[in-house]
Each structure stands twice: as structure tokens, then as C-alpha cells.
């Protein structure tokens, strides 16, 4: 009886942790995909606009194009 209670408590704990981690992870993946789509843009304004459109399609509301810090690295022209 005690072992079933322990197993139940562990399952509840894993369920609660999973319920908090899964949405955060999927939002992270969505933002990563939006950044990759925006990366092919030319200007900073265009990059932010493409990011905002991709984020809107995927219903990502945690950051916007204005929150992105844009810099040129690696010599990709």
C-alpha cells in the first residue's frame, strides 16, 4: 500500500513538472524556428517584420521583433 502511494506521488510530481516544462520548451522551439526564418532577411526592419509574422503564425507571444538584438557575425553577406 505504501509503495503504491509512493509511486502515485512520483507520477503526480512528474506530471506537474512536465506540465510546466513542455509549454516552455515548445515556445522555445517556436521562437527558434521564427529566428531561422527571419535570418534570411536583408535589413533589420525586414528581419523583425519576418520574425513577427512567423511568431504570429505559430502563436508565439513571449517576444516580438522589437525584442531581438540584431548583429552581423560570421561574414555571411
pLDDT tens digits, 44-66: 889 899 999 988 888 888 888 88
Domains in the chain, number: 1
Q: Residue 5 falls within a domain, yes or no?
A: no
Query: Which residues span the domain enclosing 36?
Result: 19-59
| Cell reading at 21 | 516544462
Q: Residue 70 falls within a domain, yes or no?
A: no
Mean pLDDT on 26-32: 91
Question: Mean pLDDT lowest for which of 20-24, 38-42, 44-48?
Answer: 38-42
Q: What is the DSSP letter of 70?
A: -
Q: Please state the pTM of the whole predicted model.
A: 0.70
d(CA 77, CA 73): 9
Q: Residue 76 falls within a domain, yes or no?
A: no
Q: What is the pLDDT of residue 75?
A: 56
Amino acid at each position: 500500500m505504501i509503495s503504491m502511494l509512493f509511486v502515485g506521488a512520483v507520477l503526480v510530481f512528474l506530471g506537474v513538472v512536465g506540465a510546466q516544462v513542455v509549454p516552455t520548451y515548445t515556445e522555445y522551439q517556436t521562437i527558434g524556428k521564427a529566428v531561422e526564418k527571419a535570418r534570411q532577411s536583408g535589413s533589420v526592419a525586414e528581419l523583425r517584420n519576418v520574425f513577427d509574422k512567423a511568431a504570429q503564425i505559430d502563436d508565439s507571444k513571449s517576444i516580438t521583433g522589437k525584442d531581438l538584438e540584431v548583429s552581423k557575425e560570421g561574414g555571411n553577406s
